[in-house]
């Protein structure tokens, strides 16, 4: 049996992919582990080692064809298809996410939005009508949605998480500033602006 | 001269700190590089190596005192003091950030909010009155603010970034789904939900 690839390596692939897509947007066609490394603050050796876990994507001395490498990473990350997402919470953050232009072409599409507030249920947000959170489990099961974004108040984040897990959700992106517990087999990630700010404050005088 | 510590190492410190704070919230007082590693999907050896770049924070066999290690990391990241932040953009995302409870006690405080929309300028958002973006440079200079969060439409992100840099901003957290260019000496980070979603889609069937 093959050893599973460490999650920290998986976590770097989307960052490589984003850099490759920025290069493509700028009209570039070839890059190197050195250039990628300099852009990302990661050593070239680390990038080569990470990519070598999945196959041979470049040639010594000629570097990587950006489009090909991007396609390979997309395939590894299973985003050649588009994943439907359930968004929970139609407050300011939910509205911002519903309007966010960064999901298209990166493998994701918000499919349904839920809230518990009677003043929000039934309201139109862009293309979406806000659904009653009471119907969340049945709607998610019916549509076979596997990914959810959690934009609810911290106080209810765990309760909603438990319901999402019951509904068959396997990956949760949590915007609430609170830790959530999920059972084995369910992935979680946090959107945590403080982590990014702290990474920069280190360098400030 | 000491070799600078790689940014990828600096980037892991806030993640260690967040895990330590979750442990403290749960009433814990001692941990180990093994436990931290299992929580975070990072090898224990990597964690010990990262921390050893800054000093001796634990003893072989007895692990780390959580509170002490957290304080040390806070000092390294320069967040024993509170950094004032300028928030640019009073749309849905700006409103969500103004209300976000995750900055307090983690080293940051939103000080001023700016927008260019006449319908938003002068409006109250929580404790803040939205200021005219025309006054952004002078207000930021006057208050000596070094960090900005960018929650503006992608189409104006670069233009606003240039003005922020002119105003003396040294660190920008960009929520717009677009790449921004900053001169040397200015840090940037992206809040990019697609990166987090892609890290999880890898594991989905």
* pLDDT, average across residues A24-36: 94
Separation CA B48–CA B57 (nearest Å): 9
- Cβ of B201 within 8 Å of Cβ of A171? The answer is yes
Contact A86, A149 (CB under 8 A): yes
Per-residue pLDDT of chain B (205 residues; tens, 9 = 90+): 578 898 889 999 999 999 999 899 999 999 999 999 988 878 899 999 999 999 888 777 788 999 999 999 999 999 999 999 999 999 999 999 999 988 988 999 999 999 999 999 999 998 899 999 999 999 999 999 999 999 999 999 999 999 999 999 999 999 998 889 999 999 999 999 999 999 999 999 8
- Residue keyed to tokens 């990038």: A47
Distance from the A204 Cα atom to the nearest Cα atom in chain B, whole angstroms = 7
Separation CA B47–CA B3 (nearest Å): 19
Residue B112: what pLDDT? Answer: 97
pLDDT at A1 over 70: no
Contact B170, B187 (CB under 8 A): yes
- Cβ of B179 within 8 Å of Cβ of A103? The answer is no
- Cβ of A200 within 8 Å of Cβ of B171? The answer is yes
Contact B189, B174 (CB under 8 A): yes
Separation CA A162–CA A167 (nearest Å): 9
The interface predicted TM-score of the complex, written ipTM, equals 0.95
The DSSP 8-state label assigned to residue B133 in this structure reads G
pLDDT at A61 over 90: no
Tokens of B68: 């002490």
Nearest C-alpha in A relative to B125 = A92
Tell me the average pLDDT of chain A. 94
Chain A environment of B43 (Cβ under 8 Å): 6
Distance from the B59 Cα atom to the nearest Cα atom in chain A, whole angstroms = 25
Separation CA A92–CA B95 (nearest Å): 6
Residue B1: what pLDDT? Answer: 57
Beta bridge partners of B63: B59
Q: Counting every residue, how long is chain B?
A: 205
Nearest to B154 among A10, A101, A173 (CB): A101
Nearest C-alpha in A relative to B171 = A200
CB atoms within 10 A of CB B135: 13
- Residue keyed to tokens 């000629």: A62
- Label residue A190 by pLDDT band (50, 70, 90): very high
Tokens of B39: 């929580």
Chain A environment of B170 (Cβ under 8 Å): 200, 203-204
Tokens of A196: 């990014």
Look at residues A76, A72, A116, A67 and name the one whose alpha carbon lies nearest to residue A94.
A116
Tokens of B133: 């973006």
Residue A60: what pLDDT? Answer: 72
Residue B101: what pLDDT? Answer: 84
CA distances from B46 to B40, B128, B159 (A): 11, 42, 40
Nearest to A107 among B78, B191, B198 (CB): B198
Residue B188: what pLDDT? Answer: 95
Helix or strand run (H / E) with residue A164: helix A157-166
β-pair type (B124-125, B128-129): antiparallel
Count Cβ–Cβ pairs < 8 Å, chain A vs chain B.
Answer: 206
Contact B165, A198 (CB under 8 A): no
Q: Counting every residue, how long is chain A?
A: 205
- Cβ of A191 within 8 Å of Cβ of B194? The answer is no
Nearest C-alpha in B relative to A154 = B101
Nearest to A189 among B78, B92, B199 (CB): B199
Contact A125, A94 (CB under 8 A): yes
Distance from the B167 Cα atom to the nearest Cα atom in chain A, whole angstroms = 15
Q: Determine the residue among A104, A177, A197 to mutate to test chain B binding: the one whose Cβ has the most chain B Cβ atoms within 10 Å.
A: A197
Q: Which domains does chain A have, with CATH numbers?
A: 7-76 (1.10.10.10), 83-193 (3.40.50.720)
Give residue-wise pLDDT tens across range A132-177: 999 999 999 999 999 999 999 999 999 999 999 999 999 999 999 8
Chain B environment of A76 (Cβ under 8 Å): 202
């Amino acid at each position: 049996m093959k050893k599973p690839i460490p999650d920290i390596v998986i976590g770097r692939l989307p960052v490589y992919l984003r850099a490759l897509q920025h290069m493509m947007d700028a009209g570039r066609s070839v890059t190197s582990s050195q250039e990628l490394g300099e852009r990302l603050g990661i050593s070239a050796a680390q990038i080569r080692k990470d990519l070598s876990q999945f196959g041979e994507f470049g040639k010594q001395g000629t570097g990587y064809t950006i489009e090909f490498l991007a396609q390979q990473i997309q395939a590894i990350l299973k985003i050649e298809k588009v994943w439907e997402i359930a968004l929970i919470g139609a407050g300011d953050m939910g509205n911002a996410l519903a309007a966010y232009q960064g999901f298209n072409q990166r493998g994701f599409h918000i499919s349904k939005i839920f809230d518990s507030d009677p003043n929000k249920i039934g309201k139109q947000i862009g293309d979406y009508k806000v659904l009653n959170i009471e119907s969340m489990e049945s709607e998610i099961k019916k549509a076979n949605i596997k990914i959810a974004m959690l934009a609810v108040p911290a106080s209810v984040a765990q309760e909603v998480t438990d319901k999402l897990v019951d509904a068959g959700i396997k990956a949760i992106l949590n915007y609430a500033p609170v830790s959530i517990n999920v059972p084995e087999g369910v992935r979680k990630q946090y959107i945590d602006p403080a982590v990014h700010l702290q990474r920069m404050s280190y360098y400030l005088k």
